[in-house]
Amino acid sequence: MQAPTDQQAALRLVSLYKSYGDIKAVKGINLTLKRGEILGLLGPNGSGKSTTMKMVLGILKPDEGEVFVYGQEEAAAPVELKKRLGYVPETPQLYEFLTGIEYIDFVAEMYAVPPAERKARVSQFLGGLQLAGHENEMISGYSQGMKQKIAIISALVHRPQILVLDEALNGLDPRSARLVKDLLKQLASEGVSILFSTHVLEIAQALCDRVAIMYQGTIMAEGTVAELRQTAGLPGSSLEEVFLKMTGTDDLGEVVKELSR
Amino acid sequence: MGRVYLIALILTKSQLRMGRSGRGGEGIFRNAAIIVLLDAVCFGVCAVIGFYIAGAILALPASVGAPLVTALVEVLVFVPALVPSVVLVAGVLFELSVSSKFASSDSINWLPVTQTEYVVASTLSVAYNYSVVPSVIMGLTLGPAVELGYGATWVEMLLLSCVSLLYGGAIVEILRAAVNRVSLAVMSRARRGALVLRLAATIGVILVVEVIFNFAFLLDIVGRFQSTLGAAAVLPVLWASVAVRASETGDVVQNALFSTATVLFTAAMLFVAIKVRARYWAPTPSQVVVTSKEYAPRVGIPFGLSLFGLNRAEATIVRKDFKGLTRRREMLQYFAIPFVLSIVFLFQIVFNPSVGAGSVTSSSPAQVHSEVDQLPVWFVGGLFGLIISSISFGQEGRSAPLLYSLPLTWKEVLRAKIFTSFILAFTAMLCIFAVVTAVSRPPPLVFVENLAIAASITAEEVCIGTAFGARYPDFQERPRPRFLDPIGIIVMVIVGMFVMVVTVLPAVLSEALTSFPTVESQIQPLFLASVAFAAAVTGLSYNWARRATKKLFVEFRM
């Protein structure tokens, strides 16, 4: 099945639904990620962001709806389309019995990255993210930030065309976080499409071309930050204020008073 | 003392709820007193059984019953040594199966608790957790003790067994701290060699424990108790038994001496446990460097795995799984399975010399019986294959979503998993088969037939285990992971054992028929029937494994 023509779409989510028993985690979302775009996916805990991302990756199967990657339905050719995707989960669950380099090598092997190219890229990433010297240690001894770096390298080693990053900057030191943000911008300028979720609205504001606000399984609003300000009726305000108003969670004053008693 | 009690209570609840993720606080397992209830029920039921057995034995004619009465009396002596043995076996195996991630992040490591408080509490908790064992034993022995007039001895045996339970718990604490420290020291220095060393050491510990507490071995020791009392007196673990023996014979002085010595030995073990933990316990996982070589990506499929028809992705998964099996602490115990099974079999030969090699061409019933007793050789590969394949999916744990997000097909994952399990099980089967063949030296035809059956059983059990592993995986990461859903475990064991028995039935029948030369012409078809049946089961279970794996990889569900 071919998606409706949209030459700009790297990723297209059409009427996705997903439930866990009685809990409706994702309720009919429609989302388009253009080529070379960084799309921020924002939402409170439990809004369905991670579930949406897992459906894109094929970790979860939608109850309804389709996922299109470069116009092709993912369900029809999952293996081929996964080769174009890179993924950093919210909490990387790496094989802790492997060393950092063994894990990256394992993932690179799955994506059939040529050995010569693999060595060069891995060395660059290890040096850039300050993991050089630790790559031969077992992941079980890594800090959370080091594990996050390994996950990021694994997502980038095969030069994916679409990156799906779920809270990818969690646990990174400031230098590494800045490096990753700059790298993402560079990749986007080279045509890589990035779906990026975060709780840190300042990062979303600085990094993302467009933002989609998700709440209770649906997309509440979508657009550039300026467009969202217009929609929320809050011109000149921060993304945080827009977000809180969109999600109906801007009545924090009373809560603060209660907690401080 | 209140703090010690509180810590012991928490440790006990933790142990009770360990395998019940998400529901640990509900139901009867909320209360640690459930163990007391369990002990009381076990004691009561076993006491009834014990009285019945004692009555039945005493009702037998003297010529038949006398040896049994003697044996019952010997068992009373043996109990105080058996109790800590069971605690040690269970405790050691538990410690070896705990994931190092959980062992090191235990909150006890960072709470303001002294080593003395923790060790005493942990010892009490271990003793309490395993108290069902002495409850069963004491229940079973109450009847014989009362009927034979050893009531006072039974009471003393009860008290000494409780004391023995404590020093069993203390020794577990010593082992826990020592294993942790040795592991850290080795792992931080010896690199890849450390991983091999840890694997060998783990198997060694399990084997030693299995040898020492093997039932055939222990029965032999019990039989020699009377004659080796002098030797037993220098072994602290047997002092309680010496005291019970003295009570039976009315030797008050020896009784008091060895009872006191047992209590002092227990106190000494507790003291040592406290000191060892204070000195050697290190809560943080070590930084393990596997190699210092520069990274060099492999070119081509390694280890000739392409010869087995594996593609690059499948070979990579196989390599990854082998590393996991040999490096993960909670997986090391599985490697001990074929060795343990072999020990069980070999001990039957060593301590029961009537079992041994026989010739299939012999028509003597005794020789036929000896052939039948070699059946465990056929089963080693099968049992190991069943277990190792059943955990192949669940052992992915929380990393399982990675396999879903990578460009892999479910067929590739299945082929890789089955290949890994089969290679391990087949290798174990061949090694043990080689040893047994070297010892028994059967004729060539017998060798070929037995090898064919052993290989067939291994193949069918690997496929059965894989099917169950794909159908009932448990990806939860726990302090003591099980990798397979409990229902899956139960059904798999029943099905696996049943299939093995049915598979060998024609072959066993063939062995029996060798005692009747007139039906010799039927021997080959019956062996072939066993192999054919195994092949059919292999095919069916492989198909089931395919369906289960395909369904499993629709989406990831924890």
Q: How far is A128 from chain B (nearest CA, A)?
A: 16
Residues 6+ apart with CB under 8 A from B490: none
**Phi, psi of B533, rounded to the nearest 5 degrees:** -60, -45
Cα–chain center distance at A228: 20
Which residue from B minimizes the CA distance to A79?
A: B407
Tokens of residue B398, six digits:
């929380």
Q: Do B407 and A60 touch (CB under 8 A)?
A: no
Q: Do A58 and B295 touch (CB under 8 A)?
A: no
Q: Do B286 and A141 touch (CB under 8 A)?
A: yes
How large is the ipTM? 0.87
Task: State the best of B183, B316, B402 to mutate against chain A, taking most chain A CBs within 10 Å.
Answer: B402
Helices (H) and strands (E) in chain A, counts: 10, 10
Least CB–CB distance from A82: residue in B298, B316, B406:
B406
Q: HSE-up of B508 (CA within 13 Å, CB side)? A: 14
Q: Which spans in A95-238 are helix H? A: 100-110, 115-128, 144-156, 174-189, 201-207, 225-232
Pairing of strands A193-197, A9-20: unpaired
Least CB–CB distance from B555: residue in A59, A85, A96:
A59
B100 and chain A in contact, CB less than 8 A: yes
Q: What is the pLDDT of residue B62?
A: 78
pLDDT higher than threshold 60 for residue B360:
no
The letter for the amino acid at B167 is: Y
The letter for the amino acid at B66 is: A
Contact criterion met (CB below 8 Å) for B234 and B246: no
Q: Do B555 and A105 touch (CB under 8 A)?
A: no
Q: What are the angstrom distances between the C-alpha of A4 and each of A14, A52, A76, A193?
A: 10, 21, 16, 19
Scored b (16 or more CB within 10 A) or e, B85-116 reads bbbbbbbbbbbbbbbbebbbeeebeeeebebb
What is the C-alpha separation between B370 and B517, in angstroms, rounded? 18
What is the C-alpha separation between B558 and B404, in angstroms, rounded? 13
Q: Do B398 and A79 touch (CB under 8 A)?
A: no
What is the C-alpha separation between B500 and A26, in angstroms, rounded? 48
Angle between the N-to-C axes of helices B115-129 and B62-97, in degrees from 0 to 180, rounded to the nearest 10: 140
Q: How far is B121 from chain A (nearest CA, A)?
A: 29
Q: What is the pLDDT of residue B507?
A: 78
B296 and chain A in contact, CB less than 8 A: yes
Contact criterion met (CB below 8 Å) for B321 and B314: no
What is the C-alpha separation between B156 and B240, in angstroms, rounded? 9
Neighbours of A114 (CB within 10 A): 11
Q: What is the pLDDT of residues B240-271, one digit of tens each?
A: 888 888 888 888 998 999 999 999 999 999 99
**Phi, psi of B30, rounded to the nearest 5 degrees:** -70, -30
Which residue from A minimizes the CA distance to B477?
A: A93
- Identify the contact set of chain A against chain B, taking CB-CB distances under 8 A: 54, 57-61, 79-80, 82-83, 85, 87, 89, 93-99, 101-102, 105-112, 115-116, 118-119, 122-123, 135-138, 140-141
Query: For chain B, which residues make up each domain, given as ranges?
Result: 2-280, 309-552
Q: What is the pLDDT of residues A155-210, one digit of tens each?
A: 999 999 999 999 998 888 899 999 999 999 999 999 999 999 988 888 888 899 99
Q: What is the pLDDT of residue B27?
A: 59
**Mean pLDDT confidence for B515-537:** 75
B316 and chain A in contact, CB less than 8 A: yes
Neighbours of B362 (CB within 10 A): 14
**Mean pLDDT confidence for A128-140:** 91
Least CB–CB distance from A60: residue in B292, B298, B555:
B555
Strands laid side by side in the A9-20 sheet: A23-34, A9-20, A64-69, A72-73
**Phi, psi of B290, rounded to the nearest 5 degrees:** -85, -35
What is the C-alpha separation between A187 and A181, in angstroms, rounded? 10
Q: How far is A208 from chain B (nearest CA, A)?
A: 24
**Where does the pLDDT of residue B231 fall: very low under 50, low under 70, confident under 90, or very high at 90 and above?**
low
Q: What is the pLDDT of residues B82-137, one digit of tens each?
A: 777 777 767 766 666 666 556 555 666 667 778 888 888 888 888 888 888 888 88
What is the C-alpha separation between A174 and B155, in angstroms, rounded? 69
Q: Do B288 and A135 touch (CB under 8 A)?
A: no
Contact criterion met (CB below 8 Å) for B554 and A55: no
**Where does the pLDDT of residue B305 fall: very low under 50, low under 70, confident under 90, or very high at 90 and above?**
confident
Q: Do B328 and A136 touch (CB under 8 A)?
A: no
The letter for the amino acid at B339 is: F
Query: Which chain B residues touch A75 with a CB distance below 8 Å?
Result: none
Q: What is the pLDDT of residue B365?
A: 45
Q: What domains are there in chain A, each with its CATH number?
A: 9-84+160-260 (3.40.50.300), 92-159 (no CATH)
Task: State the best of B184, B189, B290, B413 to mutate against chain A, taking most chain A CBs within 10 Å.
Answer: B290
3-state helix, strand, coil in chain B (%, to 5): 80, 0, 20
Minimum mean pLDDT range among A26-35, B333-342, B364-373: B364-373
Least CB–CB distance from A140: residue in B100, B397, B554:
B100
The letter for the amino acid at B378 is: W
Tokens of residue B269, six digits:
């073990």
Pairing of strands A85-88, A218-223: unpaired
Q: What is the pLDDT of residue A4?
A: 44
3-state helix, strand, coil in chain A (%, to 5): 40, 25, 35
Instruction: Give B391-456 as a DSSP string.
Output: TTTGGGGGGHHHHHHSS--HHHHHHHHHHHHHHHHHHHHHHHHHHHHHHH---HHHHHHHHHHHHH
First-to-last alpha carbon distance for chain A, in angstroms, is 59
Instruction: Give B246-284 as a DSSP string.
Output: HHHHT-HHHHHHHHHHHHHHHHHHHHHHHHHHHHH---S
**Mean pLDDT confidence for B461-482:** 90
What is the C-alpha separation between B195 and A88, in angstroms, rounded? 29
Q: What is the pLDDT of residue B515?
A: 61
Least CB–CB distance from A83: residue in B397, B407, B555:
B407
Least CB–CB distance from A138: residue in B288, B296, B405:
B288
Q: Do A135 and B323 touch (CB under 8 A)?
A: no
Least CB–CB distance from A110: residue in B313, B397, B555:
B313
Three-state SS sequence of B274-316: HHHHHHHCCCCCCCCECCCCCCCCCCCCHHHHHHHCCCHHHHH
pLDDT higher than threshold 60 for residue B359:
no
Instruction: Give A209-236 as a DSSP string.
Output: SEEEEEETTEEEEEE-HHHHHHHHT-TT
Q: Do B401 and A93 touch (CB under 8 A)?
A: yes
The H or E element containing residue A194 is strand A193-197
Q: What is the pLDDT of residue B369?
A: 44
